[in-house]
Structure 1
Amino acid sequence: MFSGNAGSRYLATTLLRVDSAGRAHVLITFARSFLSLELARLMAAGGHRVTVVDSIPIAVSRYSNAVDEFHRVPPPKFEPLEYCQALAKIVADNDIDMVIPVHEETDIIAMLAELFPPECRLFLSDFDLENRLHHKYEFQKLLVELGIPTRKFARVAGPEDAAGLDFDKPFALKRCYSRGSQKVHKVQPGDPLTWLEHDELNPWVAQEWVSGDKYCTYSVCHEGRVYAHATYPVDYAIDGSSCLNFRAVEHPRIQAWVADLVERVGFTGQIGFDFIEDGPDKDLFCIECNPRATSGIMMFSPGDGVDRAFLGTSDPDVEVITPSPDVEKMIGIGMLLYGWRAPSRRGRSMAQFARDFRRSADVITRSGDQKPAIMLPLAYASILRSCAKYRVGLAEGFMHDHEWDGLRISI
């Protein structure tokens, strides 16, 4: 069992500095992301000062009225130590009270947490827990240790593991460190796996293929307690996994599952889970965990007071903050680029796509804060340059220099 965040000076146990009005200065990473943009707007709506950072110069969050300052920093994937050193200097020079990482730089910051001033709270868990939740095979092992039902799975680190797989049903094969936009291979029992490329730092995980209704979650947690939570079904999605539209649903079993696991591991930070509800008895299985921000944050509105979930409270009776049940939002540019395609529509007609597109609110466009939408073409041009530099597609290039695939870093 994890002791979670015990003894960590940078977690929720640290008294957060706020001014006399209860406002804090927060730094949000990965400013190119629509998640970061929405988080900046939510924190600013609560009266907090917001600074954002990114490794590219034209990031949509930079142009939001919710943001006070933007800093360009090294790419965390390729210069992790320099990245954290730059963040720590920004924190010290600008009296930052809290750092909220958004993407997989979370692992890197957790690994190098001692670089940061002790009076600044890092909104994450210790590295060992972050890494175990992130690693797809280790997460499944954790579920087994906790007595939580899961489907058959196996680690594939080399040709001998691939040859020894004994699945009698189709199974999914994916990297242990991977993210939603990357390929998940559906493999039939007995299929030759000679095409597999093996990486010592990033092996594969095989999981029994499960069909059913897919759901994703997003939660904000402190020391094993959920303070904000959203559940949303997978409707329109890139490759069936990276959601393009978001509608809040109530799913008490999923919310209870999340609360139980978060409490048992003592998690602090943002976290999301992918679920499949399978069979006539609607058996619930968690496929993977994302111990960082997920798209669910975009379903919250300024009036929901999500900033309170990040700041924390000692009130034992405070209710979990949830989005309005009738909220429907979308990444408009993503729907236009991918949502209309047959794999993303998942059996829906083009007419249904058009109806869903018309009634969903775009997460980029916001009354009184139009600059991010105006700058979107230039922002995507900047990302396309990164795609060309790293020789990857648009979906991969969007996050490529903020991914973490298991490389350990020391000071």
Structure 2
Amino acid sequence: MGTSGQKHVLITFGRSFLTLELTRLMSAAGHRVTIVDSIPVGVTRFSHGADAFHRVPAPKFEPRAYCHALAQIVVDEKVDMVIPIHEETDILSMMVDIFPPDCELFLSDFETENSLHNKFEFQELLVARGIPALKYAQVRGPDDLAALDFDAPFALKECYSRGSQKVHKVTPGDPMDWVEFDPINPWLAQEWLSGTNYCTYSICRDGQINAHATYPVDYAIGGSSCLNFKSVQHDAIFDWISKFVRDMNFTGQVGFDFIEDPERGLFCIECNPRATSGIMMFGPEDGVDRAFFGTNDEIITPGADVDKMIGLGMLLYGWRKDSRRGRSMRQFVRAFRSSSDVISCPGDQRPAILLPFAYLGILRSCYKYKVGLAEGFMHDHEWDGLRISE
């Protein structure tokens, strides 16, 4: 496969703005980019940075067919690296053996990926390593639910869940008859702590951070899925992540959610072992492609003046009360006007112009799966713990 500095990369989940941004960054660095998705029209397909697009099976519903389709594209088009974006990362990690040995899948082994994805297992990892963690408990059934001994509000969320799904804030004594139990995907009860929230994005290879971004949770869907991004330096968070990924010998993209309390200190709430919105904070001048191939000598970080937003997300969700996090509508308008939209890019305006057309495919998925827009955007690329062998 590729022997020069220019590589051929395959990036998954073509409908995602994360994929669009990474495609632009890779293309600007001179690499050839192939995109795949299970819907026929994704926003990245319109980008000048994408050299080819392939429609593939939905990884959630046809995981084996999905992996084999990608492996065939790798062979036919001589792909050097596969970079998964969303939870197809877990699925691909179970079937790395079907890919040719001269193509790298930018991820860790399945056991590592799963232990970071599963919210309960991740908390167990923290405790096993002596890292301070918020109080937590796994809830597999009614007996576990009845045995919870929280004396203050706590979060209840599925062990395999993501930003499109609700985190329930529960006060002790609240009725819990609404909780349904899935033997494959149990619940995590986790102490609810107030403080300053941060999200991160890191590109790691063999336990070393090659690129990193930290950004506070500002405007966010339901207070969790960020819609705008401002780079900040937080040495304690960077040191925490550096030690953790070194201990895990992690390779891949990873994001962590932190909360910092003035009195109790810093806690990691959960881990997302895949791409996160932090990738959108980098620009072509940063050379972030080097972080994937391990050719950079320094840790790559975004510029200190980065102020970006997902414009469509801000219009759809950012103005809502639970997204504004106590801010007024006037403050929202000011933030919207001062931030640059990640979709719009000089020299590559087709994704922004054709975005309504791209969303027709997502709306079709919403109708097909009977879910809302946020859920429909990623529904067929989610992974909730079902092993392919099962």
Tell me, yes or no, whether TM beats 0.5. yes
State the SS of the aligned residue for 1:78.
Answer: coil
Is residue 341 from structure 1 mapped to residue 324 from structure 2 by the alignment? no
Deviations 1:343-402 (A, max 9, x none): 111111111111111111100000100111111001111101100100000000000000
State the SS of the aligned residue for 1:399.
Answer: helix
- Within 5 Å, give how 1:191-340 maps onto structure 2: 191-280=174-263, 283-313=265-295, 318-340=297-319
Deviations 1:256-311 (A, max 9, x none): 11111000011000000000001335x00000000000000000000001000000
Aligned to 2:153: 170
Instruction: Provide the rounded CA distance (Å) in 1 between the counterparts of 2:364 and 2:46.
Output: 20
Instruction: Provide the rounded CA distance (Å) in 2 between the counterparts of 1:126 and 1:192.
Output: 40
State the SS of the aligned residue for 2:267.
Answer: strand
Structure 2, unpaired ranges of 5+: none
Deviations 1:18-49 (A, max 9, x none): 433x1100000000000000000111111110
Is residue 401 from structure 1 mapped to residue 380 from structure 2 by the alignment? yes
Instruction: Provide the rounded CA distance (Å) in 1 between the counterparts of 2:363 and 2:122.
Output: 33
User: One-letter code of the match for 1:186?
Assistant: K
Instruction: Provide the rounded CA distance (Å) in 2 between the counterparts of 1:325 and 1:147.
Output: 33
User: One-letter code of the match for 1:397?
Assistant: G
Is residue 125 from structure 1 mapped to residue 102 from structure 2 by the alignment? no
Is residue 390 from structure 1 mapped to residue 372 from structure 2 by the alignment? no
User: One-letter code of the match for 1:87?
Assistant: L
Shift of 1:192: 3.2
Aligned to 1:184: 167
Percentage of identical aligned residues: 69
State the SS of the aligned residue for 1:287.
Answer: strand
State the SS of the aligned residue for 1:326.
Answer: coil
Candidates 56, 76, 79, aligned match of 1:93: 76
Candidates 359, 362, 365, aligned match of 2:344: 365
Name the Cα RMSD after superposition: 1.0
Deviations 1:132-174 (A, max 9, x none): 0000000000000011001110000001100111111111000
Is residue 113 from structure 1 mapped to residue 92 from structure 2 by the alignment? no
Candidates 75, 78, 83, aligned match of 2:58: 75
Candidates 374, 380, 396, aligned match of 2:353: 374
Instruction: Provide the rounded CA distance (Å) in 2 between the counterparts of 1:244 and 1:363.
Output: 10
User: One-letter code of the match for 2:389?
Assistant: S
Deviations 1:239-267 (A, max 9, x none): 00000000100101001111110000110
Shift of 1:333: 0.5
Candidates 19, 23, 26, aligned match of 2:3: 19
Shift of 1:190: 2.9
Aligned to 1:155: 138
Instruction: Provide the rounded CA distance (Å) in 1 between the counterparts of 2:334 and 2:177.
Output: 44
Asked whether the 8 Å contact 1:76–1:108 carries over to 2, the reply is yes
Asked whether the 8 Å contact 1:277–1:284 carries over to 2, the reply is yes
User: One-letter code of the match for 1:59?
Assistant: G
Instruction: Provide the rounded CA distance (Å) in 1 between the counterparts of 2:82 and 2:352.
Output: 25
Candidates 58, 72, 88, aligned match of 2:41: 58
Instruction: Provide the rounded CA distance (Å) in 2 between the counterparts of 1:28 and 1:153.
Output: 35
Instruction: Provide the rounded CA distance (Å) in 1 between the counterparts of 2:243 and 2:286.
Output: 23
Asked whether the 8 Å contact 1:112–1:410 carries over to 2, the reply is no
User: One-letter code of the match for 1:158?
Assistant: G
The two structures have a TM-score, normalised by structure 1, of 0.94
State the SS of the aligned residue for 1:343.
Answer: helix
State the SS of the aligned residue for 1:274.
Answer: strand
User: One-letter code of the match for 1:185?
Assistant: H
State the SS of the aligned residue for 2:201.
Answer: strand
Shift of 1:410: 2.7
For this pair of structures, how many residues does the alignment match? Answer: 390
Structure 1, unpaired ranges of 5+: 1-16
Candidates 354, 376, 383, aligned match of 2:333: 354
Instruction: Provide the rounded CA distance (Å) in 1 between the counterparts of 2:277 and 2:285.
Output: 18
Deviations 1:170-212 (A, max 9, x none): 1100000000121001111233322110000000000010111
Instruction: Provide the rounded CA distance (Å) in 2 between the counterparts of 1:409 and 1:365.
Output: 38
